């Protein structure tokens, strides 16, 4: 086991955090024989990669441009001749990751990355790494939900091999998994002694906002909620306006600035409007770092349905109140009921996980929690 060589492959901060946590949580297993490939999906990944190199957690850190949005022709070239074309893309000189059959184990954020690097390391076992709620629904293992390019390459050039031989999946809570996968490996809960390391790598900036406010709305681009629905066609034409109406009325219900609005990285909000009845989170620490450092059991998190609402419990064992809004829309989300039921089962007090069915019920809950001395 100690002689095995491991490769993590990521493109998001969350996946990078999970990779670091896996290594720090089981140092003896990895024993210094572990590298990481980082695809630069966003501009801030470059600085993050630099911090990771300084940390010395991984023996080697290899940087690549984001490949998920390249043309179909370029993607086919990558899969047919991975060593050559990945070598041309790699920002890092002398990439061991491109040396044939070097790694024994590949732990990838998604199937695309795992399949691509397994083309080079043909004897490696490929595992998937938790990347949010989609990892629990089994959606990431469903070929029909993969991109057309991925399916085309898989069928025409790889004889179906890209989806074969996934050995297992790393998850924080395997009991919450609803897909088809027998081998589920539990990721360790984050250890307090590693907090300083995470704060330094992910550049946490101490802010009193979450220490002085207990209500947090976890923003999301409303159009993105359609992809989470069991049947996206169920949404009305005014779906986005309906979502905004629910959120605005909920926040206006409380006294001025009682709600923190935690905007999603790709969400656009009307700053001038929202500043009149809530506090916008302008600091924008990585949400997982905010959960690590400031979110506690007295906070109230409100979300339509997002990974962020599960994060405090999954990663840190914390149990804030969580209010899910999607039932108010009258639309069914894929596996949402099952996942929330599983989350509720992990809480010492299951009543802290709440699903109002209409606005009146939501307002009653908000008012009750506002008057409750949670702080």
Among the listed residues 279, 370, 285, 269, the one whose alpha carbon sits nearest the alpha carbon of residue 323: 370
pLDDT of residue 75 exceeding 60, the answer is yes
Alpha-carbon separation of residue 140 from 125, 163, 179, 315 (angstroms): 18, 11, 9, 20
Half-sphere exposure for 370 (CA within 13 Å, toward CB): 16
Question: 241 phi and psi, to 5 degrees?
Answer: -65, -35
CA-based max dimension of the chain:
63
Average pLDDT of span 71-92: 86
Among the listed residues 325, 318, 316, 310, the one whose alpha carbon sits nearest the alpha carbon of residue 358: 325
306's torsion region: left (phi>0), alpha (psi -120 to 50) or beta? beta
Looking at residue 154, what is its pLDDT?
66
Looking at residue 147, what is its pLDDT?
63
Q: Which residue has the higher pLDDT, 260 or 265?
A: 260
User: Contact 269/188 with Cβ under 8 angstroms?
Assistant: no
Half-sphere exposure for 344 (CA within 13 Å, toward CB): 14
Compute the Cα dihedral for 244, 245, 251, 252 and give only its sign: positive
Q: Taking the CA atoms of the chain, what radius of gyration do you get in angstroms?
A: 21
Looking at residue 76, what is its pLDDT?
81
Q: Distance between CA 154 and CA 203 in Å, rounded? A: 39
> Does the pTM of the predicted model rise above 0.85?
yes
Q: Which residue has the higher pLDDT, 75 or 156?
A: 75
Looking at residue 164, what is its pLDDT?
56
Q: Distance between CA 207 and CA 281 in Å, rounded? A: 10
Looking at residue 15, what is its pLDDT?
96
- Rounded to the nearest integer, the mean pLDDT of the chain is 88
pLDDT of residue 248 exceeding 80, the answer is yes
User: Contact 277/251 with Cβ under 8 angstroms?
Assistant: yes
pLDDT in tens, 302-343: 999 999 999 999 999 999 999 999 999 998 888 899 999 999
Looking at residue 257, what is its pLDDT?
65
Q: Where are the alpha helices (DSSP H) in the chain?
A: 13-25, 27-30, 45-55, 72-80, 82-89, 111-118, 134-137, 148-156, 195-201, 209-212, 239-253, 271-274, 287-293, 307-316, 336-346, 359-371
Q: Which residue has the higher pLDDT, 248 or 164?
A: 248
Residues 6+ positions from 238 with CB-CB distance below 8 Å: none
Which residues on adjacent β-strands are paired with residue 122?
Answer: none
Question: 224 phi and psi, to 5 degrees?
Answer: -70, -20
User: Contact 353/347 with Cβ under 8 angstroms?
Assistant: yes
Q: Which residue has the higher pLDDT, 5 or 77?
A: 5
pLDDT in tens, 8-67: 999 999 999 999 999 999 988 898 899 999 999 988 899 999 999 999 999 999 999 999
């Amino acid at each position: 086991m100690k002689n095995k060589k491991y490769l993590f492959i990521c493109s998001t901060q969350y996946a990078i955090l999970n990779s670091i946590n896996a290594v720090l949580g089981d140092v003896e297993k990895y024993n210094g024989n572990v590298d990481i490939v980082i695809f630069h999906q966003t501009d801030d990944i470059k600085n993050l990669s630099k911090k990771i190199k300084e940390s010395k957690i991984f023996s080697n850190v290899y940087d690549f441009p984001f490949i998920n949005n390249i043309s179909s022709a370029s993607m086919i070239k990558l899969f047919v001749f991975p060593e050559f074309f990945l070598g041309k893309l790699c920002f890092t000189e002398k990439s061991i990751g491109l040396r044939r059959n070097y790694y024994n184990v590949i732990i990838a954020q998604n199937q695309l990355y795992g399949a691509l690097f397994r083309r080079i390391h043909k004897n490696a076992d490929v595992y998937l790494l938790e990347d949010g709620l989609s990892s629990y629904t089994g959606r990431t293992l469903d070929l029909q939900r993969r991109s057309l390019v991925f399916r085309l390459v898989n069928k025409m050039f790889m004889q179906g091999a890209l989806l074969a031989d996934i050995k297992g999946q790393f998850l924080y809570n395997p009991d919450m998994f609803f897909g088809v996968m027998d081998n589920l490996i539990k990721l360790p809960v984050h250890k307090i002694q590693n907090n300083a390391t995470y704060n330094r790598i992910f550049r946490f900036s101490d802010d009193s906002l979450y220490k002085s406010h207990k209500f947090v709305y976890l923003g999301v681009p409303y159009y993105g909620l359609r992809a989470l629905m069991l049947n996206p066609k169920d949404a009305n034409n005014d779906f986005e306006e309906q979502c905004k109406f629910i959120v605005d009325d909920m926040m206006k219900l409380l006294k001025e600035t009682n709600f923190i609005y935690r905007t999603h990285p790709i969400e656009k909000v009307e700053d001038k409007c929202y500043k009149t009845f809530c506090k916008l989170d302008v600091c924008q620490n990585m949400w997982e770092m905010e959960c690590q450092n400031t979110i506690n059991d007295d906070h109230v998190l409100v979300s339509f349905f997002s990974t962020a609402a599960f994060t405090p419990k999954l990663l840190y064992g914390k149990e804030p109140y969580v209010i899910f809004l999607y039932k108010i829309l009258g639309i069914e989300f894929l596996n949402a009921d099952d996942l929330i039921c599983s989350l509720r089962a992990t809480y010492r007090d299951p009543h802290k996980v709440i699903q109002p069915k209409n606005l009146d019920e939501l307002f009653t809950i908000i008012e009750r929690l506002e008057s409750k001395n949670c702080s």
